[in-house]
C-alpha cells in the first residue's frame, strides 16, 4: 500500500473519530459544562505530557499567551453548545447543525482577514438555509438543539480562522495546550454562574458514573490529543484542499454511527435526512467551487 493511500485512510479514520464525539456526549452522564471541563483538562495534561516526552519548549511570549488562551474561551463555548445540543435533541440533529461550519467560515474569514465575500459562498449559504428550513418544518421538536448546534458551528468557524493566523507564528501543539488550558480555566470560572442560573437547582455534577471515566479518556485522549496530533502530521503530506473536503464528511460518519449505536432514538423523519442532505451537498460543493475559483486566471488582453 502506497504512503498516499495510507494517509488518506488515516485521514478518514480521524474524521470518523471526530464524528464520534457527539455520541460520546450522550454516553457520558455528565452535563455539558462538566464534560467540557474534564475534556479540556485531560487534553491539556495530555499535550503537556507530549511536550515533556519530546523535550520541546512550551512557553510563549506573554502577549501571544493571552491571545491564544483567550481563544480557548471560544472553544469552550463551542463545545458546551455542541454537547448541550446533543442532549436536548439528538446526536443526528447536533451533527446536522455542525455541518454548516465550513460555510460559516466562508463568511467569518473575510471579516477577520478583510477580504471580499465570494458570490458562490452567498449562494451556498442560501442553499444551507433552505436545508435548515426543511428540517425545521418537519422536526420542530428539535429546534432548540438545532439552534445550539448552529451557534456551536459559528464559534467553530471563528476559532478556526483565528487558529489559521496563530499557526503562522506558533507550533500547533503550543496553541492546543494553551487553548485547552484556557478553555478548562474558563469552564471552571463559569461554573458558579452555571450552578446558580442554568443547572435547574441541581448544582455541579463532579462525580462520574459507571463508564464515564473510560469515555472521558477516549474523548480527551483519542478524540482530542491523538486526533489533533495525527491531523497535524497529515498536513505535511496531504493538501489543505483534500483535508478540508474529507473533514466535511464528519456529520455523515457521525449520523451513521449514531443510528447504529442508539437505534430507534436516533431515527428521524425522511424530511430530516432530506434537509441534512441539502446541507451536506452545499458543504461538499464549497471546497470544490473554491478550488476552481482559485485556478481561474484572468484573461490578459492581446497587444
CB 109 within 8 A of CB 161: yes
pTM of the model: 0.81
Selection from 293, 244, 262 nearest residue 120 by Cα: 293
302 in a domain, yes or no?
Answer: no
| Rounded distance between C-alpha atoms, residue 123 and residue 148, angstroms | 23
Containing structural domain, residue 102: 3-294
Query: Looking at residue 212, what is its pLDDT?
Result: 92
Q: What is the pLDDT of residues 148-166, one digit of tens each?
A: 999 998 998 888 888 877 8
User: What are the distances in angstroms from CA 72 to CA 65, 77, 94?
Assistant: 11, 9, 21
301 in a domain, yes or no?
Answer: no
End-to-end Cα spacing for the chain:
52
Q: How many domains does the chain have?
A: 1
Query: Looking at residue 300, what is its pLDDT?
Result: 44
299 in a domain, yes or no?
Answer: no
| Residue 3 CB contacts under 8 Å (≥ 6 apart), including other chains | 237
Query: Looking at residue 245, what is its pLDDT?
Result: 61
Residue-by-residue DSSP string for 70-125: HHHHHHHHHHHHHHHHHHHS-HHHHHHHHTTHHHHHHHHHHHHHT-PPPHHHHHHH
123 in a domain, yes or no?
Answer: yes
303 in a domain, yes or no?
Answer: no
Query: Looking at residue 218, what is its pLDDT?
Result: 94
Torsion region of 302: left, alpha or beta (phi above 0 gives left; psi -120 to 50 gives alpha)? beta
Query: Looking at residue 299, what is its pLDDT?
Result: 46
31 in a domain, yes or no?
Answer: yes
300 in a domain, yes or no?
Answer: no
Sign of the Cα torsion 26, 77, 131, 286 reads: negative
Q: What is the pLDDT of residues 173-232, one digit of tens each?
A: 888 899 999 999 999 999 988 887 776 667 788 888 889 999 999 999 998 888 877 876
DSSP 8-state code for residue 224:
I
User: What are the distances in angstroms from CA 77 to CA 83, 148, 277?
Assistant: 10, 11, 27
Indicate the SS3 state at residue 225. helix
Selection from 180, 153, 219 nearest residue 72 by Cα: 180
228 in a domain, yes or no?
Answer: yes
Query: Looking at residue 1, what is its pLDDT?
Result: 45
Query: Looking at residue 69, what is its pLDDT?
Result: 92
Residue-by-residue DSSP string for 3-34: HHHHHHHHHHHHHHHHHTHHHHHHHS-S-HHH
> For every one of its 303 residues, what pLDDT tens digit does the chain have, with 9 covering 90 and above?
455 778 888 888 998 998 888 889 889 999 889 999 999 999 999 988 888 887 777 888 888 888 889 999 999 999 999 999 988 888 888 888 887 777 787 788 888 878 777 777 778 777 877 887 777 676 667 888 989 999 998 998 888 888 877 877 877 788 889 999 999 999 999 998 888 777 666 778 888 888 999 999 999 999 888 887 787 677 667 765 566 667 767 777 887 888 788 776 666 778 777 877 887 787 677 767 777 777 765 544 443
Amino acid at each position: 500500500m502506497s504512503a498516499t493511500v495510507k494517509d488518506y485512510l488515516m485521514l478518514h479514520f480521524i474524521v470518523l473519530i471526530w464524528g464520534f464525539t457527539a455520541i460520546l456526549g450522550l454516553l457520558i452522564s455528565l452535563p455539558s459544562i462538566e464534560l467540557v471541563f474534564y475534556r479540556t483538562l485531560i487534553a491539556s495534561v495530555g499535550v503537556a505530557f507530549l511536550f515533556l516526552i519530546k523535550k520541546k519548549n512550551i512557553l510563549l511570549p506573554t502577549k501571544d499567551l493571552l491571545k491564544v488562551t483567550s481563544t480557548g474561551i471560544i472553544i469552550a463555548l463551542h463545545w458546551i453548545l455542541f454537547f448541550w445540543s446533543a442532549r436536548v435533541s439528538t446526536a443526528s440533529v447536533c451533527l446536522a447543525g455542525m455541518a454548516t461550519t465550513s460555510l460559516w467560515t466562508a463568511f467569518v474569514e473575510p471579516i477577520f482577514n478583510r477580504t471580499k465575500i465570494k458570490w458562490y459562498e452567498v449562494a451556498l449559504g442560501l442553499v444551507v438555509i433552505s436545508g435548515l428550513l426543511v428540517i425545521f418544518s418537519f422536526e420542530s421538536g428539535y429546534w432548540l438543539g438545532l439552534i445550539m448546534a448552529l451557534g456551536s458551528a459559528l464559534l467553530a468557524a471563528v476559532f478556526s480562522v483565528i487558529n489559521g493566523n496563530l499557526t503562522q507564528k506558533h507550533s500547533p501543539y503550543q496553541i492546543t495546550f494553551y487553548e485547552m488550558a484556557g478553555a478548562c480555566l474558563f469552564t471552571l470560572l463559569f461554573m458558579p454562574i452555571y450552578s446558580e442560573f442554568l443547572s435547574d437547582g441541581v448544582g455541579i455534577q463532579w462525580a462520574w458514573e459507571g463508564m464515564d471515566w473510560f469515555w472521558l479518556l477516549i474523548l480527551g485522549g483519542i478524540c482530542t490529543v491523538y486526533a489533533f496530533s495525527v491531523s497535524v502530521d497529515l498536513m505535511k503530506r496531504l493538501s489543505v484542499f483534500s483535508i478540508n473536503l474529507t473533514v466535511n464528511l464528519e456529520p455523515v460518519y457521525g449520523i451513521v454511527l449514531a443510528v447504529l449505536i442508539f437505534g430507534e432514538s436516533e431515527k428521524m423523519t425522511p424530511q430530516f435526512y432530506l434537509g441534512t442532505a441539502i446541507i451536506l451537498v452545499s458543504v461538499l460543493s464549497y471546497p470544490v467551487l473554491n478550488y476552481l475559483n482559485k485556478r481561474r486566471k484572468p484573461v490578459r488582453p492581446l497587444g
